[in-house]
A = this chain, B = another copy of it.
Amino acid sequence: MNETLETESDAGEVSGEMLAKIDAYWRAANYLSVGQMYLCDNPLLRRPLQLSDVKPMLLGHWGTTPGQNFIYAHLNRLIKQNDLDMIYVSGPGHGGPALVANTYLEGTYSEVYPDISPDEAGLRRLFTQFSFPGGIPSHASPECPGSIHEGGELGYSLSHSFGAVFDNPDLIVACVIGDGEAETGPLATAWHSNKFLNPATDGAVLPILHLNGYKIANPTLLARIEHEELDQLMRGYGWTPIFVEGDDPAKMHVAMAAALDEAYIQIKGIQDNARINDDVTRPRWPMIVLRSPKGWTGPKFVDGVPIEGTFHSHQVPLSDPAAHPEHLQQLEQWMRNYRPEELFDETGRLLPGIADLAPVGKRRMGANPHANGGLLMRDLVMPDFRDYGIEVSERGVKGVGDTHVMGKFVRDVVRLNEEQKNFRIFGPDETISNGLEAVLEVTQRQWNARTVETDELLAPEGRVLEMLSEHQCQGWLEGYLLTGRHGLFNCYEAFIHIIDSMFNQHAKWLKVTSELPWRHPIASLNYLLASHVWRQDHNGFTHQDPGFIDVVVNKKAEIVRVYLPPDANCLISVMDHCLRSRHYVNVVVAGKHPAPQWLPMDEAIEHCKKGIGVWDWAGTEDSGDPDVVMACCGDVPTLETLAAVSIMREHLPELNIRVVNVVDLMRLQPKSEHPHGLTDADFDELFTKDKQVIFAFHAYPWLIHRLTYRRTNHGNIHVRGYKEEGTITTPFDMTVLNDLDRFHLVIDTIDRLPPTGDKGVVLKKQLQEKLIEHRRYINQNGQDMPEIRNWKWPSGCRS
């Protein structure tokens, strides 16, 4: 354990004068943090504290704050001394006051919000806005400069940090991990990110595990295992821990300064070894374990209850000065203990001799452009997606699998941006399975753990990152995007639900940042959901869940987009659009199995531009309103709808059928609800005002109703979709189990239309028999009937 620095050790290099300056800076930040939680006036305590100086509602979380202030002050010294390019990620919940205090002290906050000026008036506003209606929340929220990680939902700080440093070789992210957060699953596996980092071409993450010992009302696990166990755990995860433990500020300053110097020396050594000696063997990066009391430097006891160093310091330690006058005194004493008169000048500005602890300009962690990634973002160099289109010699010609076609397009996105290194593909070991194998013609999976001879497509540097953790993929990608780069997450459709809550938080982040003019737009978060519900021939019921888009559409219309391209040309057209878009979450659902192709590239472009449209060549309408609208959204529903239409063409030739295909799901919503929404007039034009609509949908059928309930013809829209029926079975049988197959669609149509006469009755009976025959056939043969497998769109239809 030679890397362990006990609190008694001597830092050697950091002078006593510097440590005193760090301490003063820390006291200033702590003072401002307490001020934010408590005061609405008298910010410099220029007069005795009165009840009227205290906010009427006391909200906030003291527990984590002094420790984070301590870290921030020490990092300032390290950055300045070594001219580092560093940002700060605040993992613990409710660390907002610390980040706000520090970015204010370093000057960033006032630059972004001139109203919060570096003087007494600004201080008053700084204090008042915190946890106040219309003000700022208690997390490191988007409003806080320097933040790429709000942390309201815990667990993603380390994944975000790694996402930030991929392809940023000069960047170091100081990632403070709360010991509460460390109990979450996503954080527990994020430690393994070090097996993917390339020390030559990526930057470094310095995790600082902050053991303050408590969550809301419980101790934390990592603070209550033995020292040796924690040391083993971190080494087992592949890190070299440096311990800083104690509660005496003077000793802790010495230890922390030494630990940071040591960590930086190790980081520098690793990077030099990789970059100068070309040795990218997986290093054991340093990390710091900082054990300090929760609510450090706050009240030790309140009303006889121990506060500092217990979970009672989690929120506001002195909760009701109005009812308890002695609390007011205690609060004043607490704040005066930081000796504000030694910290701020008469105007309320931090004294220059303390302020110069912080770096200047973009070296300030609050002003580092990596934390406002849109500033640094460069457009992707894009190939012309038309070049990757497939020829559609006839409607319904069998393709090779839509995602496989897209794979070639994405391959060249990778290739063309190899130099600017700002595009990555993330996936939980499914990039090949999802049909994007072409990507691996030009790059590899980045991997820095051991390799063996039989390994394939692994390298220390590559554009694809794969770990069997959807959380990790999502977290890495978010960090990568937030720092100004581009990416694509490919995932099995059912298991994208694993990151529902992470999507929620990212969508919220995008919404809030879109309202902050100083935050520059970032690249969209793009999902390719392949291996979808309708093709789980060898996985079955557990792999069938198309409900992610139900979660997505709950978020702000300005942020979310959902696409279900019916074939390969549409898919690449859509993906081209998504990769060029900004500040959205784009969800694209596509199949990977060989499937019929419908639109030549020029038609596909036109169709995707509109997002929804009539497929004249498929329908049978001549003029005026059709008898029925067959709508479809998604590749399999489109196939079944067209197969249904082909049956009706043959057996009910007089029927006037319109086929509407939906690519952009948001077109269905009213224009007032979503920017992509059709006007009611346009919607009526497509779906008629009063005809029956048989709608075959990829996902849960209710979603279509949720989107269209305000439309004129909504009462006539009948939706078939996935209704939680499924198992191991054939592709066609999946649609049968959910009543989405061609036979059911025709029967539905016959049932909904005015009597179609004998022909309809006969046809319905035939189709019901077909369904029985189907069941019998697959039970015997384990595959679909030849007429299903070999079905083709009838040639000779108008094209």
Asked whether A234 is an interface residue with its Cβ less than 8 Å from the other chain, the reply is: yes
Of A310, A467, A702, A728, chain B has the most CB atoms within 10 Å of the CB of A728
Partner of A183, one of B233, B315, B468: B468
A189–B183 CA distance with the chains assembled, in angstroms: 6
Is B189 a contact of A152 with CB atoms below 8 Å?
no
B512–A541 CB distance below 8 A: yes
Contacting pair B705 A180 (CB below 8 A): no
Which residues from 224 to 251 on chain A have a C-beta closer than 8 Å to any C-beta of chain B? Answer: 224-226, 229-238
Q: Does A714 contact B (CB under 8 A)?
A: yes
For residue A540, CB closer than 8 A to chain B, the reply is: yes
Complex contacts, A556 vs chain B, CB 8 Å: 724
Chain B residues positioned under 8 Å from A555 (CB to CB) = 724
Query: Would you list which residues of chain A between 345 and 393 have a CB under 8 Å from chain B?
Result: none
Q: Which of B56, B315, B495 contacts A501 (CB 8 A)?
A: B495
* Least CB separation from A155: chain B residue: B185
Q: For the complex, what is the distance from the CA of A240 to the CA of B318, rounded to whole Å?
A: 45
Q: Is the CB of A551 within 8 A of B547?
A: yes
Q: Is A87 part of the contact surface with B, judged by Cβ < 8 Å?
A: no
A132 and B497: CB pair below 8 A? no
User: Which B residue sits closest to A235, measured CB to CB?
Assistant: B232
Stretch from A62-70, A210-218, A259-267 at the B interface: A210-218
Indicate if A320 sits at the interface (CB-CB under 8 A): no
Q: Which of B131, B232, B495, B501 contacts A233 (CB 8 A)?
A: B232
- B contact residues around A724 at 8 Å (CB): 508, 511, 554-556
Tell whether A649 is near chain B: CB-to-CB under 8 Å.
no
Give the chain B neighbours of A733 by CB distance below 8 A: 133
Summarize A's interface: helix, strand, loop or mixed: loop
Known: A134-B727, A454-B306, A724-B511. A152 touches B782 (CB 8 A): no
Max chain B Cβ within 10 angstroms of own Cβ: one of A131, A218, A221, A236: A218
Within 8 A of B (CB), among A390-414: none
A494 beta carbon closer than 8 Å to chain B: yes
* Residue A184 CB within 8 A of the other chain: yes
Instruction: Please tell me if the beta carbons of A185 and B454 are within 8 angstroms of each other in the complex.
Output: no
- Would you call A219 and B153 a contact (CB within 8 A)? no
The chain B residue sitting closest to A512, CB to CB, is B541
* Contact partner, A783, options B56, B181, B224, Cβ 8 Å: B56
A154 at the interface (CB under 8 A from B): yes
Nearest B-chain residue to A505, judged by Cβ? B542
User: Does A538 contact B60, Cβ atoms closer than 8 Å?
Assistant: yes
- In the bound complex, how far is the Cα of B498 from the Cα of A155, in angstroms? 11
**How far is the CB of A367 from the nearest CB of chain B, in Å?**
24
Asked if A471 lies at the interface with its beta carbon under 8 angstroms from chain B, I say yes
From A234, which residue of chain B is reached at the shortest CB distance?
A: B236
Query: Which residues of the other chain, B, contact A728 by a CB distance below 8 angstroms?
Result: 59, 131-133, 135-138
Which stretch of A164-172, A443-451, A650-658 is in the interface? Answer: A443-451
Binary CB contact string for chain A from 125 to 154 against chain B (1 if under 8 A, 0 otherwise): 000000111111111010000000010111
Interface assignment of A628: CB less than 8 Å from any CB of chain B: no
B-chain residues with CB within 8 Å of residue A781 when the two chains form the complex: 56
- The residues in A between 429 and 448 inclusive whose CB is less than 8 angstroms from any CB of B are 429-433, 445, 447
Task: Give the contacts of A452-500 with B (CB-CB under 8 A).
Answer: 452, 454-455, 458, 466-472, 494-495, 497-498, 500
Asked whether B183 lies within 8 Å of A185 as measured between CB atoms, the reply is no
CB of A542 within 8 A of CB of B150, answer yes
CB of B550 within 8 A of CB of A219, answer no
Whether A217 pairs with B500 at a CB distance below 8 angstroms is: no
Inter-subunit contact A217/B433 (CB<8 Å)? yes
Neighbouring B residues of A181 by C-beta, 8 Å: 468
Query: Could you tell me if A540 and B139 are in contact, using CB atoms closer than 8 angstroms?
Result: yes
By a CB distance below 8 angstroms, the chain B residues around A455 are 219
Report the minimal beta-carbon distance from A133 to chain B, rounded to whole angstroms: 4
Instruction: Tell me, in angstroms, the Cα distance from A259 to B190 when the chains sit together.
Output: 31
- The answer to the question of A539 belonging to the interface, with a C-beta cut-off of 8 Å to chain B, is yes
Contact A782 B56 (CB under 8 A): yes
How far, in whole Å, are A330 and B528 apart by their CA atoms in the complex? Answer: 38
In Å, the complex CA distance between A220 and B429 comes to: 10
Establish whether residues B153 and A542, one from each chain, have CB atoms under 8 Å apart when the complex forms. yes
A57 at the interface (CB under 8 A from B): yes
Chain B contacts for A497, CB-based, 8 A: 500-501, 504, 551
Q: In the complex, what's the smallest C-beta–C-beta distance from A427 to chain B, in angstroms? A: 10
Residue of B nearest to A538 (CB): B59
If A217-B429, A504-B547 touch, whether A180 touches B238 (CB-CB below 8 Å) is no
Q: Tell me if A309 counts as interface (CB < 8 A to partner B).
A: yes
Contact of A709 (CB < 8 Å), options: B150, B153, B714? B714
23 contacts between A and B (CB under 8 A): A55-B782, A56-B783, A57-B783, A59-B538, A60-B538, A134-B727, A137-B539, A138-B538, A141-B540, A185-B188, A189-B189, A216-B429, A218-B447, A221-B467, A224-B450, A231-B236, A232-B232, A236-B236, A550-B550, A550-B551, A554-B702, A705-B706, A709-B709
Q: Which 4 A-B pairs have the closest CB atoms?
A: A152-B542, A233-B236, A185-B185, A137-B540
Taking A219-B452, A705-B706 as known contacts, 16 extra A-B pairs with beta carbons closer than 8 A to each other, sorted by chain A number, are: A57-B537, A131-B728, A134-B727, A138-B538, A141-B540, A141-B541, A152-B543, A184-B189, A195-B224, A216-B432, A225-B450, A230-B236, A232-B233, A310-B454, A504-B545, A554-B700
